Structure 1
Amino acid sequence: MNNNKAYVTIKDKIATVVLNNPSEMNIIDEDMASKLNGILEQLHEDESISVMVISATGSVFSSGRTSISPERSLEERRRILSELNISKNLTNLRIPTISSINGDAMEHGLEVALCTDIRLCTTSARFRCNDLFNGSDFPIDGGTQRLPRAIGASWAMDMLLTGRTVSSQEALLIGLVNRVVTDDSLEKTTGELAALIASGAPVANQYAKEAVYCGMEMSLTEGLRLETDLNVILQSTYDRSEGIESFLQKRSPKFEGR
């Protein structure tokens, strides 16, 4: 049994990062955040990884983050909030990322899930961004920015201003998650999706991610130019040649990520 509050396993080019503090509903404290950031920094440098999955032990994905006493000085609060930031390292990953949400994803837990490219959840999962509604807090890891980008400004304001809990089915309806599966099939479904993505060409997958996210911050004309540039660069890669040869030879491609 792993006693770390976060750990990673790697198999078949898939890295699975696990939130592992089920006794406290996987609340994100400084210790967990530190371990997560260390893991994510290592994965950023590991060119053998094609896909990253983030999941959790227990029945809750994450209930949020640890509370910070108002008695702390402003400088202390800034330091703690900075240490709790996970989104920078998570979104810096060039590889495709998947959230496998096995239960409630609340507040900071939702912010972490929003940093991934694809989100799967169980039928029992619930989502909430209650920081504003309780009057004493505010999202710290991109909640006010990534939530409207994921579901639109109106739905985001609905969640932020009311602090209400969103069911898995509503989350699917508004685009907060991509798929809802039964509780006992989440691991299998996530594994199959990760394996499918990992079987693709790593460089092409990374370029697709770059084109989508960078393009969202550009004008359409600039985004189309970026798409063309990445297409041209891709033509010179080994994986492109391997893809063509494997097709002509009627065999599975052996991509090397170069």
Structure 2
Amino acid sequence: MILKHIELYENKGIAKIILKLQNFDYIINEQIIRELEKLCEILSYDDKTKVIVITGEEEHFCIGSNLQNSSYSNMRISNSIAKITKPVIASINGDAIDQGLEIALACDIRIASKNARFGFESLKNDIAPWDGGTQRLPRIIGLGRAMDMILTSNIINSKTAIKYGLITESIEFNELNSFVFDIANNIAQLGPIACKYAKEAIISGLDMTIDQGLKLEGDLNFILQTSADRSEGISSFINKTTPNYYGK
């Protein structure tokens, strides 16, 4: 796949996506959306990819979107990210505003540099969040805080974002890449099918009763027992060796 506005680095099961937004004032456009959409689909089915990292250039993540000559439906990307069955980490190296924040919300783990800021400013232009922000933000930080962030258009810093549970870590900018790589590398060593099913159980369980969620958890674990990776995991534990997982 030819990428013009995105850089992709693959190493030891980690796929790192860099949004090249510098020439667009760190605002995402439809060309970048189409590339990212296709890349999400490819990586989701690539057996060599165990974990995905999404980040921006230099000290900038994404501060919004260019809706000129584009409809909302053509610019939505968060669902493509959220549907990836593998763990996805947002390495937020700068401000995540409007659709930039919605992209981060679609990821499973969010780690940010200490200089990063977060919020929705589009209401100042009479535009409500439209790429999943109104749905994912309250599920992550709670209804009250989500209402406050969206309806006031207040921008919060990384310290407040940790307090809210929006991000899990706030790291010095020059240490962010190595910190995120260590986490991604740790995930890449885990059983890929187990990671996939754990993610499915967590996300799907949010829309279920506790009993339904427990049944799903049990069903997925039952399926997991029949996988070759599960046998490899048991064998490596008994023999005290490093497991070689193949996602099968």
Matched, 1:46 2:37: no
The offset of 1:22, in angstroms, is 1.5
Structure-1 separation of matches of 2:171 and 2:177: 10
Task: Give the corresponding residue for 1:207.
Answer: 197
Matched, 1:236 2:226: yes
Quick one: which of 91, 101, 124 aligns to 1:110? 101
What aligned pairs does 1:6-155 form with structure 2 within 5 A after superposition? 6-68=6-68, 80-132=71-123, 134-155=124-145
Structure-2 separation of matches of 1:255 and 1:153: 40
Matched, 1:255 2:235: no
Structure-2 separation of matches of 1:113 and 1:26: 15
Quick one: which of 209, 220, 233 aligns to 2:210? 220
Say whether the 8 Å CA contact 1:25–1:58 is kept in structure 2: no
The offset of 1:135, in angstroms, is 4.6
Task: Give the corresponding residue for 1:71.
Answer: none
Give the TM-score, by structure 1 length.
0.92
Say whether the 8 Å CA contact 1:172–1:179 is kept in structure 2: yes
The one-letter code of the counterpart of 1:185 is E
Say whether the 8 Å CA contact 2:47–2:246 is kept in structure 1: no
Say whether the 8 Å CA contact 1:211–1:227 is kept in structure 2: yes
The offset of 1:138, in angstroms, is 1.4
Runs of 4+ in 1 over 2 A off after TM superposition: 23-26
Structure-2 separation of matches of 1:23 and 1:154: 37
Structure-2 separation of matches of 1:34 and 1:7: 14
Task: Give the corresponding residue for 2:4.
Answer: 4
Q: Which runs of 5+ in 2 are unaligned?
A: none
Structure-2 separation of matches of 1:231 and 1:17: 31
The one-letter code of the counterpart of 2:139 is R
Structure-2 separation of matches of 1:217 and 1:3: 36
Q: Secondary structure at the match of 2:177?
A: helix
Q: Which runs of 5+ in 1 are unaligned?
A: 69-75
Deviations 1:45-99 (A, max 9, x none): 212211000011122100111143xxxxxxx76xx21121101211110000000
Q: Secondary structure at the match of 1:98?
A: strand
Report the aligned-residue RMSD. Answer: 1.4
